[in-house]
Chains A and B, each alone.
Chain A
Amino acid sequence: MREHDIVVVGGGPAGLAAAIAAYDSGVTDVVVLDRESSVGGILRQCIHNGFGLHKLGRELTGPEYADVYRCEVEKRGIRVYCETTVTGVTADRVVTAQNKEGVLKIKAGAVVLAMGCRERSRGALNISGTRPAGVYSAGTAQKFINCEGYMVGKKVVILGSGDIGLIMARRMTFEGAKVEAVCELMPYSGGLTRNIVQCLEDFGIPLYLSTTVAEIHGKERVEGVTIAQVDENRRVIEETKRYIPCDTLLLSCGLIPENELTRGAGIPIDPITSGALVDENRQTEIPGIFACGNVLQVHDLVDYVSDEAEMAGIGAASFVKNGAVSGKTVETKPGNGVRYVLPQRVHTESGKDVSLFLRVTQPFPKVRFTVKSGDVVLATAQRLKAAPGEMEKITVKSEKLQGAQEPITVSLEVL
């Protein structure tokens, strides 16, 4: 069995940033395993711009952003194995992978899980009707158009107003398709405001809120969809049903962290984030196994993926050099108006500031977030508005954390 100090599973933005951060923390024996033919992950198909404003101070396309990190990996001589699929990770950090040379087993000093996420499929949405060609998850259509050079349809309905759906509405329009409608089940969009403006409004594409696709029609290829408004319980209102002829239905209805390897290793998962439970170093409940990026929580911006991955990379390097972080930990809990808080556990005596990442349960106007331990306020933050589609970050100073008791809660009040 081969041995490496750190094995990074996945060479997308999270895996690359984690590998670089681990290396720069002094652990140079780092390998990255990626199933695709080149690194970059889903960024490779995101040829639109808007990446890097926060992290790199400039606006790049997805492939350009990935390339910045690929070059940094290369510069350090970090080994990357492409077309290499990890098929198993054990709690004692044996990584099994498969490529055209065979099956390899690596005993790792630390493992960083960075497998990303997948799109919710038609089946998981349980849309009724027939099963013709022309129903795509938005990312699959994006891959065909941007990477393979094939067009997927001419007359399009999009279900879900997440960012990929919005980006694809514009992309399909650029390529000559007519986007008839973007339907969103919720009464608000889950996408970034800038994408609603730049991808729909600028092109006159209608966004129908509280609306779903009730049925798919067509035998061989999609011939149309029935859309309908939904009530507050998200049930279809029969009398609002209407038929839209189209040849393509794109689905952009949420992303699911791909935690099959994580589960296989016996790592506990947060039912809300669908990612591992982690501490502020992004270490899972199994020492020496870290997680970051969209496999941990679905992010809005790749810039924040890179930030999170650096924490995991530094954490993994520290584990290799010094072993597990000791000291007291307390749990974090979502309070009023907050859906989840990550990390789910923090060390209170580490002497370091800790940033808490969270999402709200629904859109709010001006709010104040309060981080509390019992009756003690650890931090507050105000926002002019808050929405589930935009992740919030609140930093708690190290001196405030010291002596904090279980649990630390984050809640909001509308101002």
Chain B
Amino acid sequence: MFDVVIVGAGVIGGMLARQLSKYDLKICLLEKENDVAMGASKANSGIVHGGYDPEPGTLKAKLNAEGVQKLYDVADEIHAPYRKNGSFVCAFGTPEEEATVRELYERGLENGIPGLEILTGDEARVLEPALSPAASLVLNVTNAGIVCPYEMTVAAIGNAMDNGTELKVNFAVSDIKKEQDVFVVTSAGGEVVKGRYVVNCAGGYSDRVAAMVGDDFFKIIPRAGEYMLLDKNEGSRVSHTIFQVPSKDGKGILVSPTVDGNLLTGPTATVVESPEATSTTPAGLDAVARLAAKSVPSVNFRQVITSFSGVRASEKSGDFIICPAKSVENMIHVAAIDSPGLTCCVSIADYVIDLLREAGLAMAPRADWCPTRENPHAFREMSDEEKDAYIKEHPAYGKIVCRCETVSEGEIRDAIRRNPPACDIDGVKRRTRSGMGRCQGGFCMPYVMRLISEERGVAMESVTKNGKGSTPLIGKL
């Protein structure tokens, strides 16, 4: 019996688990996929939004304003990579767009966002020489940043697990029943988990999870965003995140460095039939290239190393839906977490904790709670001298497995052992960057598979790309 059962191990469910793990509670985190961060949390822009965009008075405005510093603070504690690179929101010569820039500035002030300023196009180009000559007026958002969204999720859940949270992957919730004061949560595979409180953080599926207890007051509209990621050769094309003024479809196409040194362009915004509709399309990728070039004409799209699509869990109200369930007590819905959801992951978690407390969950702080997580990237951050000394003690770090990203066998073995353990090839990739580089795993995949096979004691043919059915090998010769 758990005190709190969280449905969905994305960045929202994961960060909630981490923040709840401060208290003397038994927490269970349920995830339908083979790994954490498998929905929108692994495929989004990775931006810490300054908070100028949400309508004043909305939950988004409140949680964004509170969330930025909270996010940076937690990222420091759990060693999730981020960088405060600042963002630009650009108008390109039209009076309407320039008016929008001024409006966003005013709205930012109203939302209590520090460090906003308006720059002329020329002033902006001094800071960002690759910015288009057509950019005429720019909102400079100095508190904004970039973060690796899946590493943030992995780190939060790792820290929660180190503090006792139980993670169950491949647990697709198919039914939630309340028997007296206890929720009985059943998976598609027939497994049962019981808990006193349930928090629905099921992302694109949060409306379906709500429906399991009879709530149908919101409906998720899955909106796909396609991206192209470019080689590190292009990673210093810009230092800020470059937005165009937002439209009704969202914040538009951005051009941004990533924390790992690549260049990211995207996303589009297309309503799709399901949260699983993560196909890329020729039209979408063409649009990304065309619109990104409007902001930064010099982006060299011959340096694309991969493209992908993520599906946002949007809703018609446009605001986050974070509230107690209507048909049942002691359940909280955390739904419609589209942009700036990643930015707000810590402030949302803290807000949900308040709702749980109001619902009667007693929370005693734990004396033995550990706020920090081991830095998974300690080795790659070492100097040559430090590496030399470390390898002499730990030889597995001397063997490079992924040549493009310089990832060692030791780091890969760690990722398979450390909480939350990587169980598949993509899981290793997200934790270590092995296979994330310019050859996209062409060389390292056989080695990574052998390490997974060894560490987890499974046959090579059973190692998967990302869970059930995704086996690269069909058998021995």
A residues at B contact (CB < 8 Å): 35, 83, 85, 87, 96, 98-105, 118-119, 121-124, 126, 128-134, 136-137, 139-140, 143-145, 147-154, 175, 214-215, 219-221, 236, 247, 258, 260, 263
Contacts and interface: CB of A to CB of B under 8 A. Distances in A.
A130 B403 contact: no
B419 interface: no
**Interface-centre pick from B280, B440, B472 (highest chain A CB count, 10 A):** B472
24 contacts: A83-B399, A87-B406, A98-B387, A98-B408, A103-B385, A121-B441, A122-B306, A124-B305, A124-B438, A132-B470, A133-B464, A133-B470, A134-B472, A140-B445, A145-B477, A149-B477, A150-B475, A151-B473, A152-B472, A152-B473, A219-B469, A220-B465, A220-B467, A236-B282
Given A128-B279, A149-B477, 19 more contacts: A87-B400, A98-B391, A98-B398, A100-B396, A100-B398, A103-B391, A105-B384, A118-B439, A121-B305, A122-B440, A123-B306, A124-B305, A128-B307, A131-B278, A133-B465, A137-B442, A140-B442, A144-B446, A150-B477
B395 to A, nearest CB: 4
B476 interface: yes
A102 B391 contact: yes
Interface in B436-477: 438-443, 445-446, 460-461, 464-477
Contacts of B308: 131
Interface of B: 228-229, 233, 276, 278-282, 284-285, 304-308, 384-385, 387-389, 391-392, 395-396, 398-400, 403-404, 406, 408, 438-443, 445-446, 460-461, 464-477
A154 B408 CA distance: 33
A277 to B, nearest CB: 18
Nearest to B426: A131
Nearest to A214: B282
Contacts of A152: 472-474
A100 B223 CA distance: 47
B281 A128 contact: yes
A102 B388 contact: yes
Contact of A100 (B306, B384, B391): B391
Contact of A102 (B279, B392, B460): B392
Secondary structure type dominating chain A contacts: mixed
Contacts of A99: 398-399
Contacts of A123: 229, 304-307, 440
A119 B403 contact: no
Contacts of A220: 465-470
A118 B437 CA distance: 12
**Interface-centre pick from A105, A221, A263 (highest chain B CB count, 10 A):** A221
Nearest to A248: B474
A101 B276 CA distance: 46
- Give 5 closest A-B pairs by Cβ, nearest first: A123-B306, A220-B469, A121-B440, A85-B400, A100-B398
A98 B279 CA distance: 39
Contact of A101 (B385, B391, B460): B391
B476 A139 contact: no
Contacts of A215: 279
Contact of B388 (A103, A133, A149): A103
B410 to A, nearest CB: 10
A153 B443 CA distance: 18
Contacts of A118: 438-439, 442-443
A129 B280 contact: yes
A85 B403 contact: yes
B400 A153 contact: no
Contacts of B466: 133, 220
B112 to A, nearest CB: 40
B263 to A, nearest CB: 13
A144 to B, nearest CB: 6
A136 B465 CA distance: 12
A150 B460 contact: yes
Nearest to A235: B282
Given A85-B400, A150-B476, A130 B278 contact: yes
B84 to A, nearest CB: 28
A178 B149 CA distance: 41
Contacts of B467: 220
A402 to B, nearest CB: 40
A35 to B, nearest CB: 6
Contacts of A96: 384
A38 to B, nearest CB: 14
Contacts of B306: 121-123
B279 A129 contact: yes
Nearest to A87: B406
Contact of A150 (B389, B468, B473): B473
Given A151-B473, A219-B276, A126 B285 contact: yes
A151 B304 contact: no
A128 B466 CA distance: 19
Nearest to B283: A128
B446 A130 contact: no
Contacts of A263: 233
Contact of B460 (A35, A124, A130, A148): A148
